[in-house]
Amino acid sequence: MLVASAAVLWGTTGVAVAFSRSSGLTYLQVAHAMLLVSSCFLLLVLRDGVRRLNPYLFLYGFLVIASFRILYVISISVNGVGLTSALIYVAPLIVVLYESLRSGEPPNITELTLSLLAFSGAYVATNPELSITSSSGFLIGLVLALTYSATLTIPRELYARGFSRNEIVVQSTLSAAITLTIVVFFTDGLAVNVNSIPYVTYGGVACMGVAVILFYEGMKTTNPVYAGLVTTLEPAVSLILSRTILGEQLKPIQYVGASIIIAVAIVTLIRQRGTTQKNLARNLRNLVGPRGLEPRTSAV
């Protein structure tokens, strides 16, 4: 549920970005401003996250977090907002295939089916014209999806190396903020607009602060495949808010896409709960004796 909560908060980003953009900021400037606010917020509430600085975490922030933001802006310029949002959700399918290679087992058919459904739902929900991109646009979108896939699979490896949630969150966000500061300085230019401050602050605190904390906390126990499927809730939430807050008119096919996304998320959450219960039962069996009463002991 923590990852799902993060996805819901991420879904509100679109409204904050739309209001920020209306004040004259570019997509890159908005992303940069939100990251700066997020960095300040995380340093304030997770101060122990910088007690042990580690180059791996800063590299992760540079190669994955910052790259995702930059590629997202590049993809928008080539593919448009709708198609870019859709291409991101090739990521769950990539994660399913990666997990299959990692385990040496064939891909799970149910997970493959849910991944394809999630992408289909995101595609029609965010891209009702059913546009098809060019080969270069698809390549950019694929790299974007790969970076998003990395945010789903790398946390497990970082936790296995002994890093804490706060260290991962704070140091990777700081690295991304520094990287975007340099990029924005040499491209769109550093800019501040008073009218955008409330929306940038919300995006930085809620969408890139609280949501990121919830996500990484959830990734301690969540399968990367399940996390990828659940985070497709983001475009569904974004559509609902665009309709209710921004007054945008949605096409019937977009409602169909959002319904598919929500259905996939519900099925995934149910499957995750079942998997968790099975793991708990297996661990319990390993702790008790064959008669269910005596602890297991090694033979002497």
User: Helix or strand or coil: residue 25?
Assistant: coil
pLDDT tier at 242, thresholds 50, 70, 90: confident
The pLDDT of 97-119, averaged and rounded, is 94
**Average pLDDT for the chain:** 90
pLDDT tier at 260, thresholds 50, 70, 90: very high
pLDDT tier at 196, thresholds 50, 70, 90: very high
Q: Which residues contact 217 (CB under 8 A, 6 or more apart)?
A: 2, 165
Q: What is the pLDDT of residues 53-94, one digit of tens each?
A: 999 999 999 999 999 999 999 999 999 888 998 999 999 999
Residue 169 to residue 64: CA distance in whole angstroms: 13
Q: Please choose, from the candidates 128, 117, 149, the residue with its C-alpha nearest in 3D space to the C-alpha of residue 261.
A: 117
130: alpha, beta or left, given left = phi > 0 and alpha = psi -120 to 50?
A: left
Q: What is the pLDDT of residue 225?
A: 93
Do 66 and 174 touch, CB atoms closer than 8 A?
no
User: Helix or strand or coil: residue 8?
Assistant: helix
Q: What is the pLDDT of residue 276?
A: 59
Residue 200 to residue 163: CA distance in whole angstroms: 29
Q: Please choose, from the candidates 280, 273, 277, the residue with its C-alpha nearest in 3D space to the C-alpha of residue 4.
A: 273
pLDDT tier at 23, thresholds 50, 70, 90: confident
In DSSP notation, 223-269 reads -HHHHHHHTTHHHHHHHHHHHHTS-PPPPHHHHHHHHHHHHHHHHHH
Domain map (residue ranges) of the chain: 2-276
- For tokens 């122990």, the residue is 48
Residue 67 to residue 237: CA distance in whole angstroms: 24
DSSP H helices, the chain, are 2-11, 13-21, 27-45, 55-60, 67-88, 91-103, 109-126, 135-160, 165-186, 197-202, 211-218, 224-230, 233-244, 252-287
Q: What is the pLDDT of residues 110-163, one digit of tens each?
A: 999 999 999 999 999 998 888 888 899 999 999 999 999 999 999 999 999 999
Do 27 and 73 touch, CB atoms closer than 8 A?
yes
Q: Please choose, from the candidates 38, 53, 12, 43, the residue with its C-alpha nearest in 3D space to the C-alpha of residue 236.
A: 12
Judge if pTM exceeds 0.85. Answer: yes
Q: Please choose, from the candidates 38, 10, 31, the residue with its C-alpha nearest in 3D space to the C-alpha of residue 180.
A: 31
The pLDDT of 216-232, averaged and rounded, is 93
Which carries the bigger pLDDT value, residue 246 or residue 34?
34
